[in-house]
Structure 1
Amino acid sequence: MDKKRTIPLIPEDHGTHLPGRRAFLKVMAASAALASAACKGPPLEQIVPYVNMPELLTPGQPTFYATAFMRRGRAHGVLVESNMGRPTKVEGNPHHPASLGATDVFAQASVLQLWDPDRSQTVFEGESLSTWEAFQHVLAQERAGWERNGGEGLRILTGSVTSPTLIAQLSALLRRYPKAAWHVYEPLHDDRAILASRQAFGKIVEPLYRFDRAQVVVSFDADVFGDWPGSIPYARAFMRNRTARQAAFSSRVYAIETTPTLTGAVGDERLALPPADIERLVWRVAAALGVPGMGPASAEIEKWAQVLARQLDTHRGRSLIVAGGTLSPETRTLVHLLNARLGNVGNTVSYIDAVDSPAEPHVESISALVRDIHDAKVRSLILLDTNPVYSAPADLAFGKALSRVPFSVHLGLYRDETGRAATWHLPQTHCYEHWSDGRAFDGTASIVQPIIAPLYQGRSLHEVVELLAGQSRSGYSLVRGYWQDRQGKLGNANFEQFWQTALRTGVAERSFSPLRVRVPAMPPLPVLVDGTTLQAVLVADASVGDGAFANNGWLQELPRPFTKLTWDNAALIGSATAKALKVETGDVVRLRAPGQPQLQIEAPVWVLPGQADLVVTLPAGYGRRAAGSVGDGVGFDAYMLLTTAAANQTFSLLIEKTGRRHEFATTQGHATMEGRDIVRWATLAAYRQNPRFATDVERERTPEVSLYPEWTYDRYKWGMAIDLNACIGCNACTIACQAENNIPVVGKDEVMRGREMHWIRVDRYYIESSGKQRTVFQPVPCMHCEKAPCEEVCPVGATVHDSEGLNVQVYNRCVGTRFCSNNCPYKVRRFNFLQFSNQKVESLKAAQNPEVTVRMRGVMEKCTYCLQRITRARLEAEKLRRPLRDGEVVTACQAVCPTEAIVFGDLNDPDSRVNHAKASPLNYSLLADLNTRPRTTYAARIFNPDRELE
Structure 2
Amino acid sequence: MKTWKSLGERRGTVRARKAEFEDELPVGESVRQISRRDFFRFSGLSFAAGLALGCKSKVVERAMPYLNAREGLTPGVAQWYATVCGGCSAGCGVLAKSRDGRPVKLEGNPDHPLNRGGLCAMGQVQTRGLYDESRLRGPRIEGGDVDWTKLDADLADRFAALRTSGGAVRVLSGTLTSPTLKAAVLAFLGTFKDGRLVQADALGCAALAAAYERTHGQRLVPHYRLEEADLIVGVEADFLGTWLDPVGFTRAYAERRGPDRPKAMSKHIQVESGMSLTGSNADERVRLAPSEAIIFLEHLAHHADLDGPVGVLPAALKAKAEAVAHALLRHRGHGLLLCGLNDPRAQELCARINHALGHEGVTVDLAHPSLQKQGDDRDLESLIRDMAAGKIGALILLGTNPLYDQTPAFAAAFEKVPLRISMALTEDESAARCTHLAPDHHWLETWRDSEAVAGTFALAQPLINPLFNTRDAVESLGAWSGHPTQALAALREHWKTAVFLRQKGVADFDAFWNGALQKGVAQIETGNAPSYRAGRVEGASRPAHQGGYELLLYAKVGLGDGRHAHIPFLQELPDPITKATWDNYAQVSPAAAARLGLEQGDLLRLRPEGHALELELPVLVQPGLDDRTVAVALGYGRTAGGKAGLHVGKNAYPWRSFTAGFLAAEAAPLQVRRGSGRVELACTQDHHSLEGRELVREMALAPYLRDPASARPHEHVGPSVYGEHPHGAHRWAMVIDLSACTGCSGCVVGCQMENNIPVVGRDEVARKREMHWLRIDRYYTGSEAEPGVVHQPMMCQQCDQAPCENVCPVLATVHSEEGLNQQVYNRCVGTRYCANNCPYKVRRFNWWEYPHASELERLGLNPDVTVRSRGVMEKCSFCVQRLMAAKITAKNEGRELKDGEALPACMQSCPAQAIVFGDVQDPDSRISQVLRDPKRFVVLGDLGIGPAVSYLTKIRNVEGEPNQRGHHGA
1:544 aligns with 2:559: yes
Q: Is the 8 A contact 2:295 2:541 kept in 1?
A: no
Aligned to 1:4: none
Take 1:153 and 1:352, find their aligned partners in 2: how far apart are those partners? 35
How far did 1:124 drift? 2.4
1:695 aligns with 2:712: yes
SS in 2 for 1:591: strand
Aligned to 2:387: 373
Aligned to 2:21: none
Take 1:43 and 1:882, find their aligned partners in 2: how far apart are those partners? 35
1:406 aligns with 2:422: no
Aligned to 2:233: 218
Deviations 1:767-826 (A, max 9, x none): 128994201100001100001000000000000011111100011110110100110010
SS in 2 for 1:630: helix
SS in 2 for 1:282: helix
Aligned to 2:247: 232
1:113 aligns with 2:129: yes
**CA distance 1:136–1:771, change in 2 (3 Å):** closer
Structure 1 range deviating more: 648-657 or 521-530: 521-530
Q: Is the 8 A contact 2:890 2:897 kept in 1?
A: yes
How far did 1:89 drift? 0.5
Q: Is the 8 A contact 2:587 2:619 kept in 1?
A: yes
1:270 aligns with 2:282: no
Take 1:750 and 1:770, find their aligned partners in 2: how far apart are those partners? 29
Structure 1 range deviating more: 303-312 or 416-425: 303-312
**CA distance 1:529–1:315, change in 2 (3 Å):** closer
1:826 aligns with 2:843: no
Q: Is the 8 A contact 2:138 2:470 kept in 1?
A: yes
Take 1:530 and 1:159, find their aligned partners in 2: how far apart are those partners? 33
Q: Is the 8 A contact 2:295 2:542 kept in 1?
A: no
Take 2:70 and 2:427, find their aligned partners in 1: how far apart are those partners? 36
SS in 2 for 1:113: helix
Match of 1:794 among 808, 811, 821: 808
Aligned to 2:462: 450
Take 1:527 and 1:285, find their aligned partners in 2: how far apart are those partners? 16
Structure 1 range deviating more: 350-359 or 655-664: 350-359
Q: Is the 8 A contact 1:750 1:756 kept in 2?
A: yes
**CA distance 1:489–1:347, change in 2 (3 Å):** closer
Aligned to 2:595: 580
1:470 aligns with 2:485: no
Take 1:136 and 1:111, find their aligned partners in 2: how far apart are those partners? 30
Aligned to 2:117: 101
Match of 1:305 among 321, 327, 330: 321
1:171 aligns with 2:186: yes
Aligned to 1:8: none
The size of the alignment, in residue pairs, is: 906
Deviations 1:605-643 (A, max 9, x none): 211111112112111111111021111111111113222
How far did 1:306 drift? 2.3
Percent identity, aligned pairs only? 37
How far did 1:671 drift? 12
Structure 1 segment 649-660 matched on structure 2, within 5 A: 649-650=665-666, 651-660=668-677
Take 1:884 and 1:272, find their aligned partners in 2: how far apart are those partners? 50
Structure 1 range deviating more: 229-238 or 855-864: 229-238
SS in 2 for 1:596: coil
Structure 1 segment 4-15 matched on structure 2, within 5 A: 15=28
How far did 1:302 drift? 2.1
Which residue identity lines up with residue 914 of structure 1 in the other structure?
I
Take 1:345 and 1:491, find their aligned partners in 2: how far apart are those partners? 26
Structure 1 segment 528-927 matched on structure 2, within 5 A: 528-597=543-612, 599-645=613-659, 647-650=663-666, 651-669=668-686, 675-697=692-714, 700-703=715-718, 705-768=719-782, 772-838=786-852, 840-927=853-940
Take 2:94 and 2:858, find their aligned partners in 1: how far apart are those partners? 23
Aligned to 1:497: 511
1:436 aligns with 2:478: no
How far did 1:211 drift? 2.0
Q: Is the 8 A contact 1:554 1:735 kept in 2?
A: yes
Deviations 1:464-506 (A, max 9, x none): 2112202321111111111112256448751111110111111
Aligned to 2:496: 484
Take 2:524 and 2:702, find their aligned partners in 1: how far apart are those partners? 46
**CA distance 1:754–1:512, change in 2 (3 Å):** farther
Take 1:672 and 1:805, find their aligned partners in 2: how far apart are those partners? 26
How far did 1:514 drift? 5.5
Aligned to 2:10: none
Structure 1 segment 101-250 matched on structure 2, within 5 A: 101-150=117-166, 152-243=167-258, 245-246=260-261, 250=265
Take 2:225 and 2:370, find their aligned partners in 1: how far apart are those partners? 18
Which residue identity lines up with residue 872 of structure 1 in the other structure?
A
Take 1:859 and 1:358, find their aligned partners in 2: how far apart are those partners? 46
Q: Is the 8 A contact 2:500 2:512 kept in 1?
A: no
Structure 1 range deviating more: 613-622 or 490-499: 490-499
Structure 1 segment 322-337 matched on structure 2, within 5 A: 322-325=338-341, 328-337=343-352
**CA distance 1:754–1:443, change in 2 (3 Å):** farther
Structure 1 range deviating more: 761-770 or 401-410: 761-770
How far did 1:290 drift? 2.5
Take 1:16 and 1:765, find their aligned partners in 2: how far apart are those partners? 42
Take 1:242 and 1:842, find their aligned partners in 2: how far apart are those partners? 45
How far did 1:923 drift? 0.4
Take 1:502 and 1:488, find their aligned partners in 2: how far apart are those partners? 11
Q: TM-score, normalised by structure 1?
A: 0.91
Which residue identity lines up with residue 810 of structure 2 in the other structure?
V
Q: Is the 8 A contact 1:217 1:254 kept in 2?
A: yes
Take 2:577 and 2:57, find their aligned partners in 1: how far apart are those partners? 54
Deviations 1:271-314 (A, max 9, x none): 11112222222222222333343155222122212222222222
1:286 aligns with 2:298: no
Which residue identity lines up with residue 679 of structure 1 in the other structure?
V
Take 2:689 and 2:304, find their aligned partners in 1: how far apart are those partners? 40
**CA distance 1:874–1:305, change in 2 (3 Å):** same
Q: TM-score, normalised by structure 2?
A: 0.89
**CA distance 1:858–1:786, change in 2 (3 Å):** same
**CA distance 1:583–1:17, change in 2 (3 Å):** farther
SS in 2 for 1:763: strand
Take 2:302 and 2:351, find their aligned partners in 1: how far apart are those partners? 15
Aligned to 2:19: none
Take 2:405 and 2:362, find their aligned partners in 1: how far apart are those partners? 38
Q: Is the 8 A contact 1:258 1:615 kept in 2?
A: yes
SS in 2 for 1:653: strand
Which residue identity lines up with residue 497 of structure 2 in the other structure?
D
**CA distance 1:879–1:512, change in 2 (3 Å):** farther
How far did 1:331 drift? 2.5
SS in 2 for 1:176: coil
Deviations 1:906-936 (A, max 9, x none): 0111111112111111100111111111000
Structure 1 range deviating more: 823-832 or 420-429: 420-429
**CA distance 1:943–1:801, change in 2 (3 Å):** same
Q: Is the 8 A contact 1:331 1:526 kept in 2?
A: no
Which residue identity lines up with residue 861 of structure 2 in the other structure?
Q
Aligned to 2:270: 255
How far did 1:561 drift? 0.5
Aligned to 2:968: none
How far did 1:247 drift? 9.2
Deviations 1:319-357 (A, max 9, x none): 11111125x322221222122222222222221476549
Q: Is the 8 A contact 1:837 1:855 kept in 2?
A: no
Which residue identity lines up with residue 256 of structure 1 in the other structure?
V
How far did 1:138 drift? 0.9
**CA distance 1:268–1:914, change in 2 (3 Å):** same
**CA distance 1:739–1:209, change in 2 (3 Å):** same
